[in-house]
Each structure stands twice: as structure tokens, then as C-alpha cells.
Amino acid sequence: MATTAFKRIDWASLDAAGRKAALARPRQRTEGRVTDVVREIFDDVQTRGGAAVADWAIKLDKAPPRRIAITPDVVAAARDALPPADTRCIRIAAENVRVFHQATRPEDTAFVETTPGVRSKLVWRPIGAAGLYVPGGSAPLFSSLLMLAIPAQVAGVRQRVAVTPPSKDGGVHPAMIIAAAEAELDALWLVGGAQAIAAMTFGATFDDGEIVACDKLFGPGNAYVAEAKKYASSLPGGPSVDMPAGPSELLVIADGSADPEIAAADLLSQAEHDADAQVILVCDSTATINAILEAVEEQLETLPRAEIARASLAEARIIKVSDTATACEVTNLYGPEHLAIQTEDAEALVASITAAGAVFVGRFAAETLGDYAAGPSHVLPTDGGARTLGGITTSSFMTTMSVQTVTEAGAAVLAPVAARLARLEGLEAHARAADLRSAV
């Protein structure tokens, strides 16, 4: 039996530098000219619009951009191409995502009176146009379409532009059509890579429709897509972006009560994503660590994507800690995309977690459930982004504005204060604008 390449680490024996190295992300295996290629594509699309997008799509994906209208006939054909159980499960997942995001949509606050006659509140507004990038690659990630398009819809976004790379035959998997229908999208664009991001940045017109310039870009992708989003947001007047979304990550906290078979299955569920994915086991029991490693080996033997999983496990870590409190400290330093807590006091430990994209509590809360059907979006920050960012929610597709109302009496009290502070900063025009309110 082959052995996995988990690196075993004793946390207590490490100094600060050693602990930083133990929690380092793997060096991503990307082509050296990514930045240059992305800028070339963007310059071309900015100059030639849809013609440039089409040329790059044909060159890189072997198919021109194509708009798939989500009509009743198109949806019916997609349903006919899938077993009824598949379409039923997509509908269940979509409904759960919608229910969760409707329940968690932020609401306008009540007015807060800070000074008599001076009231302020926050109001939420949807962004105008959201660009939704849905990865294709070796599998149609229709779940990502649900996790992006439905929260955007619940937020009230007027224009949702969904793009996804075409399949090898230039078409689209029927499950993607069904997901688009469940998300109530009007259309799905078959175009991927940096050229799709450029199209959503500048806008692009084609024979069968238009991709509008978007206010904000969402979704994970390969190195070219990630660099394209980063570059787009750096342009003057360019779109904002959601978060860093790199290779998948999972950290499992386990103790002696953990089920080794379940812990191993969770670790492998992320390791099979791709060779750059990273999994970390943090545990206070040597016996449990050994049992989980043995279960990993047993499950790998029959895993269809075992080769990919083994490549990922070359960057895996097993960190031995003294107790679960220390395990939480390690987790917060790492800031994982996904965190599974498989301990006797799993629910109690959540209070100690400050940095994780999504937390799965207890033996029955599989990360896979969150990936597909629990409700919260699975589009989450990676590379430590969870220390300052959250995953996709309806608020990701919205902005806040403060609204202030002031009575004459309120201005009489507050304007002299504001005027004095303005003059303290040397801003006389500011002060005079306040003086005029108190002099009425």
C-alpha cells in the first residue's frame, strides 16, 4: 500500500518562524506568463470589444462565445437529458440556498438619534450589475452557479451576467442549464478565462447579444481568472471583486472522540479537488492521528481521483497540539476556507473560532453538504482571506448608504460643534456651510 505524504508537526516544539512555515500555503503551480497574457487580453478587449473576446475564446477554448437563452424549450431539453433524481436534487439545493439567503438578507436600520433633532440610519441597496464567473474545467460546477446567482437575485441585483467555459464540444452540461433555470437567469454565456473577465469589465457585443460592463465580479477560477479579476479591479473605474478565491482548503480539528473514517473522508473530499488544494489535520491525540492516516490510505485505494488527491496530500499537514484550545489558536492563525470541528465539545469550540470561511460542527456536518445543498454559499475566501473577509452573502451584492435628517433645533446644537472642528482642520468652507445652518 502506498503511503501518503502528510507532514507531521509538533506544534509545541516550534518557534514563531516554524509555526508560520507550518501554516504556509502551497506554492501554486502556475505558468510564468499569466500576468503578461492577462494584460494582453485586456488591452485587446478594451480596444476591439467583442471581436477580441471571440478571437481569444476560439484560440484558448476552441469555441466562440455563445449566449444560451434559458427558455422553456431549452430547459425542457436539459431535463430530458438528466435523470429525474438529478433535477430534483438541483431543485432542493436551489431552494435551500434561496431560503437561507432570504432569511439573512440585511435590512435597513431604524433611525438613530445621536443629538436631539439629528437622526441617521443605514439603508441597503443592490448593485446594478454583477458578473458571475462559474468555473468549468474538468467538471460542470453548476453548484457554484446556484451559490452566486441566487444570492444576487435575493439581493435584488438588476443585471446578473453569468459566464462559464464551454465544454470540450463547445456546448454546456444540461445540469448547468437546470441550475440557471432554478436561479431564474435569463441567459448563460459560454465563455471562460481572462477573456470572460475582460468582457464583463469593459462590456462586449456579439451577434447574439451583449455582455454588459459589470460593477462587481464574483466567483472562483484558475490562475488566469484570478489574475484577471485582480487586474480588472486595479483599472481606473474598474469593477470591484468579491475575494481571493484560490485552491480549496480544509482544516479538521479532531480529538479522541472523532470518527477516523469520517475525518479521513473529509480530508480526501478536499484533496481530490486539485493538486494545489491543501488539507490540514489538527489533533491532540496521537492514536487518533494514526487511525485517521490509516483510514486515508484505505479510502485512497478506491478513490477515482486518487492521483490528484495524492498530489494534494504532498502539501498536507498533521499538527499535533496539546488540547483543543490550542487547536483553535492554530485554526485562527491559518484562517481556513473550510473548518470541520470533530470533537466531543464541537459546538462549544465555535465561540473560540475567529477566522474561517465556513464552519462544520460535529460528525454529521460534512463539508460536502455545505458545498451543495445546506444553504450558505460555498464561495469562500482562501489563502487566509477568512481573517478579514467572509464568504458570499446577499450583502456581497449590496451597498450601504447612511441617510441623515436634521431639524432646525438639531442644527442649532450640532452645527457649531461641526464648524469648530472644521476650523481646527483648517477647512473654512466646511465651517461656513455649518454656520449657515445654525444661523437660520
Cell 435597513 appears where?
A: 108
Reference 155, options 133, 178, 181, 127; nearest CA is 127
Long-range CB contacts (within 8 A, 24+) of 50-59 = 50/199, 50/204, 50/205, 50/206, 50/211, 52/195, 52/198, 53/191, 53/195, 53/196, 53/198, 53/199, 53/204, 53/206, 53/211, 54/206, 56/193, 56/194, 56/195, 57/191, 57/192, 57/193, 57/195
Q: Does residue 109 come out as left (phi exceeding 0), alpha (psi in the -120 to 50 range) or beta? A: beta
337 is catalytic: yes
How far apart are alpha carbons 49 and 66 in whole angstroms? Answer: 15
Given 182, 249, 272, 337, the catalytic residue: 337
Give the E-state strand segments of 52-134 in sequence order: 66-69, 112-115, 118-126, 129-133
* Calpha distance 15→185 (Å, rounded): 52
Tell how strand 209-211 and strand 204-206 pair up. antiparallel
**Catalytic choice (101, 173, 273, 338):** 338
**Phi, psi dihedral angles at 400 (to 5 degrees):** -110, 150
177: cell is 442549464
The grid coordinates listed for 170 are: 463547445
Which residue carries 488539507 as its cell?
279
Reply yes or no on whether 430 is catalytic. no
Active-site positions read 337-338
